[in-house]
Amino acid sequence: MSQTERTFIAVKPDGVQRGLVSQILSRFEKRGYKLVGIKMLNASEELLTQHYAEHVGKPFFPKMVSFMMSGPIVATVWEGKDVVKQGRTILGATNPLSSAPGTIRGDFGIDLGRNVCHGSDSVESAEREINLWFKSEELTSWESNQSKWIYE
């Protein structure tokens, strides 16, 4: 398989509290993407400040970090062809009210501040975010028996 990439997808505290983790993970599995890292954690302020570095100093930043620290997060890494772009499509628009039905945010969200998931927005962001949230030994390389049925 050529041009395989990885992306970082996090189920935010609202998604965890609402019991949506398995439904969110299943959307990526059903599409054919391979899970190579997963963990549940309570994110520290330091980790979140690094993760959302481009938003430091913006008016919404303190509220966003506080929300992300309000409960557990399920952090995942997915692998596959065009997974960064396709992952964003699976999630839907950042604002759930602008998300199409059938997307995660379109099906499960209403408010921008409770949009259920985070997904990397570029290959470069994915690499940075994966390295923030996971140690290399926490990621698994494995060959899926289904890959011949998903990829030419």
Q: Check the annotation: does 12 bind a ligand.
A: yes
- Mean pLDDT on 13-37: 98
pLDDT at 1: 43
Residue 145 has pLDDT above 50, yes or no: yes
Buried (b) or exposed (e) across 26-37, using 16+ Cβ within 10 A? ebbeeebbbbbb
Q: Check the annotation: does 94 bind a ligand.
A: yes
Q: Check the annotation: does 6 bind a ligand.
A: no
Q: Which CATH number fits domain 6-140: 3.30.70.141, 3.40.50.20, 3.20.20.70, 3.40.228.10?
A: 3.30.70.141
Q: How many CB atoms lie within 10 A of CB 38?
A: 18
Domain segments of the chain as ranges: 6-140
The predicted-structure confidence for 52-110, as pLDDT tens digits, reads as follows 999 999 999 999 999 999 999 999 999 999 999 999 999 999 999 999 999 999 999 99
Taking each helix axis as running N to C, give the angle between helix 83-91 and helix 123-133, from 0 to 180 degrees, rounded to the nearest 10.
80
Active site residues: 118
Locus of tokens 């494995």: 142
Cβ(68)–Cβ(10) under 8 Å? no
Q: Check the annotation: does 115 bind a ligand.
A: yes
Read off the pTM.
0.95
Could you tell me what percent of the chain has a pLDDT over 90?
A: 97
Q: Which of 109, 103, 107 has the alpha carbon at shortest distance from 86?
A: 103
